[in-house]
Structures are given as C-alpha cells and as structure tokens.
Structure 1
Amino acid sequence: MELLRPGWIPRLSALLVLALLPRGALGSCGTPPRLSFAELQDESKAKEEFPVGTTVTYNCRPGYQRVAGQSPTLTCEGESVWSEPKMFCQGKSCGHPRDLANGKVHITDLRFGSNITFSCDEGFRLVGPNTSLCVIDETRVTWNHELPFCEVVKCSNAEVENGRKLSGFGPSYSYQDAITFGCEAGYFMVGSRVIVCQANNLWSPPVPTCERVCPDLVISHGRVKSGAKPHYVVGDHVTIECYAAYTMPGEPKIHCTDKFKWEPVIPECRLSVYIIILLCVIVIAAVMLIVTLVYKKIFSQKRKHVSTSPTAEYTLCKT
C-alpha cells in the first residue's frame, strides 16, 4: 500500500506521538481576545484552557450582523497565539434619512455607531439637533434624533428713536434684507446708517442711535479754527476766526451746553471799520470823478455850439 512506503513511516510515527501526548503539552493560548463587534459563544466562555489547536466561536454583538464569507472563529496557533481576527461582523445600517429641505445631510457612514450632520442653505437656520447617531433600539438600529428642519432667517423689526427709515420699510425682514436710517433735525447718528439682517437672526452692524446735537455752525465770512466736527454734542469746544478784513466783536471760543445751545452765542464776523472808511473814500472819489467827466463833456459840447453859430448867420445875410 502507498501509506506503507518507507518514506511515510517517520511521518506516521510523528502523528501518532502527537496524538498520544497529553492535552496542552504543545502549549496553550490565553483568554481569547475581546472584540468590539462580537463576543464569545457561551460554550467558549465556559472553557478555562485553550491548548494549541483549540478553536473558539464568536457571535455578533447587538447592532452588528454577520459578513458573508467570513468565519466567526479564532484558533490557538502553534506559537501559542490566537489567529488574527477578521471583520466577520459589521454594523447594521440605520438607512438613509430623508432629504433636508433647504439644507444638506452630511453622511460618511450609515452603520451602527456612525454620526451624520446637518446644515442649512444660506438664508436659512437649523431648528433641531445638528447631529444624529445610529444607535440600538431594542433589536434594531435607528437614528437617535429626528431630522431637524431649516427655516428662513428672520430679523426683528428695528426702529431708531429720534430717527426714521429711509429705505427698507418692512414689515418683515429676512436674510440679507437691509434698512437705511436717518436722524431727525437736531440729532446725529451714532453707528452705521445701513444695517443688514444676518444668518444668526441679528442685525449687523448693530442698530444705530440718534444723539441730540447743538446747532450746526454757519459762520459768514469766518470759519472754525479748531475743534471742527460734522456734529457737536454736549461738552464740545470750538474756536472761531474771521477771514481777512473782518473783525469779531464777540468771544471766539464757544462750547455746546447741556441745553444743546452754544455759549457764548455764535459770534458774527463784521467788516472792519477801516475797510468801511476806505470803501467810502473810494466811492466818493469815484462819484467825484464821474461828475467831473460829465461836466467836462457837457461844457465841451456848449463851446462847440457857440463857435458854429456866426458862420450860419453870415451865410444867411449873404444870400
């Protein structure tokens, strides 16, 4: 027979010796590894020793299911180590959630233990949780939060005391809507004239305020030398100066009081007395010059008339 050939005799002897050796003589493995996706069957849990050659079987943990073609077993191998575990169980799928109107569902995995996140399109805000986890619910897996929804961003109506809207009259405001404000006479604006409804339901820049001011400084023939501003509030000080040829009878330094008035009163720039006298002299001289020229013209015309009259009389007598 083939098995009785001389070359097979040593092999048969070795196999026979191995079979007759006491259990564990070739070594043993420690406790089988703990797997996140599977646990030992009860019969394997009951064992205390795992000699080389021992095979243990795993069952998928809740939330996981068998992978076709992958054995759920591990074997204690010759070097007293367990064979490398394969992914013979995989997470059950929670399924794809429905689409998010005016938003997006961000998915990397749908299986047990995975997260999905939600976001809204521009101009909408998320109402509800922004994440959901695939968890176990009794014998099945499901998402632990219901799908949120996206609602249009709305900003509350904005009003400014002592001011008015120049554009953006509402009555409701959505994302990117804008309002332009102006202040009533006697007030100036602190903040931005234009505000825009943002994605967080707030106005940006913040709603401005209209602050009470002193009257504008209108100075004929003069200017504000120091402290000039577009608008003046309580406590502001300015210094006024007149242009050349003008003098200031009042106080050049004035300030805005808590009654929103200038004290001392806004000075006036008046033409200098010397300039007035000079102008009068110039006017008188001009009048005299004009009178002289007129007189000379009239006198010259009279002399011409007298010199031509005898010639006319002589001509008549001769005829």
Structure 2
Amino acid sequence: MTGLPETSPSGFSVLDSVTANRLVYLPGFYPSYSNTATGLLGSALVAANRFASGDPGKEPTEYADLVKRDIFDPMGLNGSHFLATEENKHLLFVPLFESSVVDMDFLDVMNGAGGQWCSLSAAITFTSTLLNPRHPKSVLTPFTMRNWLRPTHSFEEDDWTESGLVWEIIKAIDSNDRLRRIYWKLGELYNLHNAIALHPGTSYGVVVFMAGAYMHAAEITYRIFEIVQPTAIIILERGTLFVEELVLNGVNAMGTFNAFNGPPEVVQGQRKSRFALRPTGLRDELRLDTGTPPVNGLKHMSCYACWIGVDDWGMHHGAPTNLIYFTGSVEEWEQGKMEERVFVSNMQFKGRVQVTPQLL
C-alpha cells in the first residue's frame, strides 16, 4: 500500500487518486514534478527485479529494502534510510518547527518521493560519484551519467531554468560571462530545507543541510556557486590540457587547420594560440576543440556546436587533422612499468590508428 502517512486524517491514497483526477499534462507533453510518478517507479523497480530473478522469493518486496541492497550498501551510505526509529533517533536533526514530520511514514515506495534521511558524509559520497562515475563507490556507469546529466526539456520563454531526468536545472553566469548549468535537487519538506547540487562543467558540487527557521536552501546554494565559481574556473584551466603548437613529421596541425578555416584571429578569437582538447568517447582519443568566437561581439552569431566535430577540419594523408590520442598502456604507466605515454596526432601515422579503441 502507498499513500500519505498513517497519521493523515484523510486516509488519502496517492496512487488510487490517479484514476479520479485529470493529468497535469499528457505523457511526454511537458515535464511535471510528480511524487506519484516517483512512487510508481519504485513499485516498478521492485516488480522488475523480482521478475528478472531466478528465485523471486528471495528478492526484496519493498522499495526501501531494494534500495538499501543495491545502492546504500554498495556505496557505503550507512547514514541513509527512510524512517525515524528508536535505533536511529539519536542521529537525526529535527526541524525547529513542525517537528512531527520526522515521525511520518509514507508507506513503502512513497517514502522515496517523500524524502529520506541522509548524513552529510553520505551526501558527499553520493555527490562525488555523480561527478566521477569511476569513483570506487559509484554504482552508475559513465554512459549512464552522460545521459542523465543533461536537459530533457527547455521552455522557450525561459532562459534560466530547464528540466532534467529528476533534476531541476538552473543556470548561473560564470567568470567568463557564460551561462552554465547547475543540476540540483531541493528538499523542502516542512522545515527541513536541503540541497544537493552539481556543476558538471567544472566538476564540483555543493551540499546544504538546514533544519532551522530560514528556509531558502536554494538561495544559499546559488550564492555558494557564485563565490566558488571564479576559483573553480582557474583550477580547471590549470588542469586542462591545451595544445599550443603541434608539429609531427614536419606537419603543423594548427597551420593545417588555419589553412582550411582562416587566420588564427578569426578562428581562435581571444584564446590566442591555444586549443582545448575534447574527449571523443573513446579511451585516450581527443579532438582539438575550437568553437567559434562571437562575430562583431554578437554572441548569437557564434556557433560552438558547428566547430567541435570533424567536417570543418582538413584532412592530411587521409586522416582528420584534429584527431589526437595517447599511445601506450594506461595500466602499465600507472604501475610504473612504462617511462611515458606518447601523445601523438593521427596524422603521424597517415591515418593508420595505432591504438585499440575502448569506450570510456
């Protein structure tokens, strides 16, 4: 059974009400925040797990047990749970007002929609694994994260907010005067006001937990991003691999590119002679990433998406001039069995790729 807490005087069942009320929008028409959909998803996960099992009788029958087994335990989230009990009550922060919320039981799968208890340590681990799917405690793959951390709907009349898969997405101006996406989940149940927010573009996150009278966790989180962002950009730029000049076998990749696409001041704008490198999705393979600067100061006249692929680059000996990769074994290099890994251009081998592609 799912519904409101047993203490609710209405006895209202959320899932039963679906048949008696009109949908907010048709499925897929517009995104809509939905605790009911989250509850249905929990039920579907439990059913699917039992259906796929060779021994359904040994599988969890409740959402909380399934999440504990497949998420909380593997990630070491020992401070995460759904209910306040005699055993864990000494670990809970109780809100200043309306503290009775801590005693509510939203009945199995709706507990996930109603929120969960989470320690700061668990929130940090969770945030770290989202920013780095290769984290040793991550239960998600890089492929999943690339498809999860993206907008699913942008409203034409709104250039500041977007919807994602579960995420609310807002934008903040960075130190280079660019709007960047922040993915966050806000917990605003009575007087428990919390936020877990990610800035994937600069690989850091913010966690805010509050239980006092001040309720604007979103405002605090947004302000933290404003304060931290300039420093994060500096750190990111220092750690970013740039190419200033690439000459291999007498061939200058930059010169080849400029010969096809115009002089450096047109192509590279204010970045002078440096190109960043963008992963292609294959291990150790990168592309020189140019983008285009605004034309006469008009941002809408630039086209970043037009210039990060292959088509606008020249070819040399049958190979794209912007293809760069490392050779050598990562594992042996990390174990000290190789003195160095070699950074080469595809042009060096006249189009004959010398590495075995592996998906990231």
TM-score (normalizing by structure 1): 0.21
Report 1 or 2 for greater relative contact order, CA contacts < 8 Å, sequence distance ≥ 6.
2
Task: Say which one has the larger Rg.
Answer: 1
Q: Which has the higher helix share?
A: 2
TM-score (normalizing by structure 2): 0.19
